[in-house]
């Protein structure tokens, strides 16, 4: 490669808001209903109907925009975006054009070079379109002779969050999406479920020789349905554009569709005027006034944001950056950890230990079962109690794992399981001393070896004591007492 | 003021999915020219101190609470469809 190129990425993220009813009518928004069972004259675009804005949509959108540090407009309006497509029964989408709900925001992402601020150009409201099932092998649109339209999703409320072209790599794009998703989950405006289409992302990508100020021609990438897809698609597209330039070609301004199975993208041939949307003000919806009180109310609803919480967990509970990241992945996880950590700390157990048990054992088990932390069969307080038993030497770490497995199945308190199974670890020095003395007497040869300097023999002797105790002695104490005895009577 | 030619009218018709009879582009371009001419006249008014709006009704928010209201029976909905399959509106090939 003769020249060093810089990749420039801007992302457009569509998020379905978690309202009960649609944005302009009372139809339910429940995912997965039978086709065309959640529709009415308004969302079907039948003549003579009038849309009425759902107030909760506005509330959620303001909250999300505030969480992205945006300035909320004093008033905002809706516009019609006109185009013909079978998923859009009205032949226009109600969206926002020149007076969006909010502008000029930013969110902070963690990169390998530290924190970076990514600008948010705007946050606006719009309605979702319907769902099309293409009747062809693999559901490909290009080869389908016909398609089936389901209008249940038509009119589900969306916010579109548009970033500035501030992202410089596929990894930064990934970090931005992760941070944005966390913010949206924390503010409880969306479930951000990508499989159900609650969060969708398009990427604008261009490349330019490093040092050049003018942006290169951008391509728009669509059809990526996971964060990993997005990262792969961006990497592929940047390489493709660099190759075009190096071969002396020109990057075309076009929309490209990502094919996750093939790991490639292809140009979406569209009619030349497909992007002439002829926006005009929606005459059926009045201007919306956003009072200071409405904004202040939502400002109050904002919880501690994920990044701030991550930093606080590191400071307050001594977690590593990685652990703090895992513990703040979702608000439910953060609440679970903090609740357990507080109980642990008040019982003089380190939060770090609790964190390990939660992130390794519990998370591992939940993941394997496809469960969320909110459905954990073990309560946060029980987790704290388990670590307390281990740190106090009541049970060994190994026993802890057995107790944990039992707790996960039965939901019983760890103390109850320890009693029922007679697992209590022997931490009584006198008892251990007796056992140690017996083992020393019974094993003169290993004892002699140890005393002659072959100190690794201690392992064998510890093993013998543990065996004699049927695994119930505290191994740390056994080791310590054994050494004391052997070293003392030389 | 941009000139309205037959070509402009044909483009607008295409975007609006309208099929025009051969003599219609000429007729419509004349009519549109007149309408826009009037708009041009309005544009010369001094509106510096008039707030921008797309509507006459102003000042009060109109919205509804987030309450689910049952919609239409599926049978009734699909009865309006030109073609139905698997409870979906069947539409012809999208990409030519
Ligand atoms: Zn509806």
Question: Residue A245's beta-bridge partner residues?
Answer: none
- Count structural domains, chain B: 1
- What pLDDT does residue A282 have? 94
Average pLDDT over residues A282-310: 91
pLDDT band (50, 70, 90) for residue A490: very low
**How close A392 comes to chain B (CA, Å)?**
52
Q: Nearest chain B Cα to A145, which residue?
A: B93
Average pLDDT over residues A3-8: 90
Whether B1 is in a domain gets the answer no
Whether B37 is in a domain gets the answer yes
pTM of the complete model: 0.77
B22-26 long-range Cβ contacts below 8 angstroms, 24+ apart? none
Q: Nearest chain A Cα to B87, which residue?
A: A35
Q: Residue B18 belongs to a domain with what CATH number?
A: 1.10.20
pLDDT band (50, 70, 90) for residue A424: low
Is the pLDDT score of A269 beyond 70?
no
Percent above pLDDT 90 for chain A? 58
Q: Where are the beta strands (DSSP E) in A354-438?
A: none
The residue extents of the domains of chain A are 5-298, 304-421, 429-488
Between A447 and A141, the higher pLDDT residue: A447
Whether B30 is in a domain gets the answer yes
Whether B20 is in a domain gets the answer yes
Whether B26 is in a domain gets the answer yes
**How close B27 comes to chain A (CA, Å)?**
22
Residues of A in contact with B54 (CB under 8 A): 77, 281, 283, 287
- Residue-wise pLDDT for A234-243, tens only, equals 999 999 999 9
Q: Which of A288-297, A348-357, A391-400 shows the highest mean pLDDT?
A: A288-297
Whether B57 is in a domain gets the answer no
Nearest to A142 among B14, B92, B95 (CB): B95
- What pLDDT does residue A319 have? 92
Cβ atoms within 10 A of the Cβ of A472, count? 17
Is the pLDDT score of A181 beyond 90?
yes
Range name among A189-203, A204-218, A401-415, B2-16 with the lowest pLDDT average:
B2-16
Is the pLDDT score of B68 beyond 70?
yes
Distance CA A199, CA A359 (A): 26
- What pLDDT does residue A270 have? 58
Is the pLDDT score of B8 beyond 90?
no
Nearest to A149 among B14, B17, B91 (CB): B91
The CATH number of A429-488 is 1.10.10.410
Distance CA B73, CA B80 (A): 12
Give the range of the structural domain holding residue B11, as residue numbers without chain letter: 6-43
ipTM over 0.90? The verdict is no
Taking the centre of ligand 1 as the mean of its atom positions, its distance from the CA of residue A406, in whole angstroms, is 49
Nearest to B71 among A40, A149, A150 (CB): A40
Tokens of A60: 């959620």
- What pLDDT does residue A348 have? 86
Q: Nearest chain A Cα to B61, which residue?
A: A288
- What pLDDT does residue A47 have? 92
């Amino acid at each position: 490669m003769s020249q060093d190129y810089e990749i420039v990425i801007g992302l457009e993220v569509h998020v379905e808001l978690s309202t009960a009813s649609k944005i302009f009518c009372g139809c339910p928004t429940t995912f997965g209903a039978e086709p065309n069972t959640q529709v009415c004259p308004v969302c079907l675009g039948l003549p003579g109907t009038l849309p009425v804005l759902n107030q909760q949509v506005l509330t959620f959108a303001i909250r999300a925009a505030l969480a992205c540090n945006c300035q909320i407009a004093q008033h905002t309006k809706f516009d019609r975006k006109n185009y013909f497509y079978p998923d859009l029964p009205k032949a226009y989408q109600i969206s926002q054009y020149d007076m969006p709900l909010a502008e000029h925001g930013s969110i902070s992402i963690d990169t390998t070079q530290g924190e970076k601020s990514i600008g948010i150009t705007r946050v606006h409201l719009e309605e979702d379109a319907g769902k099309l099932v293409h009747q062809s092998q693999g559901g490909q649109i290009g080869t389908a002779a016909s398609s089936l339209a389901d209008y249940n999703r038509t009119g589900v409320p969306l916010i579109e969050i548009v970033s500035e072209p501030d992202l410089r790599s596929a990894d930064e794009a990934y970090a931005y999406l992760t941070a944005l998703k966390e913010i949206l989950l924390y503010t409880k405006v969306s479930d951000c479920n990508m499989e159900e289409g609650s969060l969708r992302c398009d990427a604008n990508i261009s490349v330019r020789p490093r040092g050049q100020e003018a942006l290169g021609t951008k391509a728009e990438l669509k059809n990526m349905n996971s964060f990993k897809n997005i990262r792969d698609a961006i990497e592929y597209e940047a390489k493709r554009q660099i190759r075009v330039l190096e071969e002396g070609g020109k990057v075309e301004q076009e929309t490209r569709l990502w094919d996750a199975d093939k790991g490639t993208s292809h140009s979406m041939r569209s009619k030349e005027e497909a992007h002439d949307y002829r926006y005009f003000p929606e005459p059926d919806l009045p201007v919306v006034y956003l009072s200071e009180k409405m904004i202040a109310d939502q400002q109050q609803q904002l919880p501690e944001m994920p990044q701030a919480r991550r930093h606080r967990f590191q400071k307050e509970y001594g977690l590593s950056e990685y652990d703090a990241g895992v513990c703040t992945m979702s608000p439910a996880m953060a609440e679970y950890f903090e609740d357990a950590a507080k109980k642990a700390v008040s019982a003089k157990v380190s939060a770090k230990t609790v964190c390990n048990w939660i992130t390794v054992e519990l998370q591992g088990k939940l993941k394997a079962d496809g469960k969320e932390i909110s459905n954990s069969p073990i309560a946060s307080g029980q987790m704290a109690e388990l670590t307390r038993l281990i740190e106090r030497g009541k049970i060994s770490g190994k026993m802890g794992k057995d107790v944990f497995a039992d707790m996960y199945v039965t939901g019983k308190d760890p103390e109850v399981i320890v009693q029922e199974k007679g697992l209590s670890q022997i931490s009584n020095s006198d008892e251990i001393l007796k056992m140690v003395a017996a083992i020393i007497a019974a094993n003169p040869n290993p004892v002699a070896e140890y005393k002659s300097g072959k100190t690794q023999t201690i392992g064998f002797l510890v093993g013998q004591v543990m065996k004699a105790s049927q695994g119930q002695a505290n191994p740390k104490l056994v080791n310590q007492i054994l050494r004391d005895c052997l070293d003392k009577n030389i | 003021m941009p000139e309205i030619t037959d070509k402009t009218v044909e483009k607008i018709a295409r975007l609006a999915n309208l099929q025009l009879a051969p003599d219609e582009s000429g007729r419509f371009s004349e009519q549109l020219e007149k309408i826009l001419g009037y708009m041009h006249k309005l544009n010369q008014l001094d509106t510096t101190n008039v707030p921008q709006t797309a509507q006459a009704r102003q000042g009060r928010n109109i919205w509804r609470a987030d309450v689910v209201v049952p919609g239409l029976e599926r049978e009734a909905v699909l009865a309006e469809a030109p073609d139905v399959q698997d409870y979906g509106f069947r539409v012809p090939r999208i990409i030519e």
